[in-house]
Amino acid sequence: EPEVTQTPSHQVTQMGQEVILRCVPISNHLYFYWYRQILGQKVEFLVSFYNNEISEKSEIFDDQFSVERPDGSNFTLKIRSTKLEDSAMYFCAGDLTRSGANVLTFGAGSRLTVL
């Protein structure tokens, strides 16, 4: 069964450093998402991406965050200058459509620890 692949599985970084989290979506998916889950808290929506542009973003997704799909396969989340509160599990997800007729498929996540 096709999978959403995320790398790295765990990254430890110093506060203020830039971090890039990578995702390889399922090949026929068109809509892509990043979610995050701070330890012990709810899974929160960050951003959705379609046709090489952001289609929706949450208030969490400020200027420190950016997303891109540079080569048509990898979908990346960049945090420019990490803060302690960015420590969380980050999940990539993909969908065939925006309508929700299909199941949103999540990757295994990338755990980010900011020291």
Binding site for another protein (CB under 8 A): 6, 31, 33, 35, 41-45, 48, 55-56, 58, 89, 91, 95, 98-109, 111
Which is closer to another protein, CB of 61 or CB of 114?
61
Distances (CA, A) of 13 to 36, 41, 90, 102, 107: 17, 21, 14, 36, 21
Q: In angstroms, what is the minimal distance from the CB of 99 to another protein?
A: 7
Shortest approach of another protein to residue 6 CB, angstroms?
8
When the beta carbons of 61 and 81 are compared against another protein, the nearer one is 61
Task: Please state whether 84 falls in left (phi above 0), alpha (psi between -120 and 50) or beta.
Answer: alpha
Q: Longest C-alpha distance within the chain, in Å?
A: 41
Between 84 and 103, CB nearer to another protein: 103
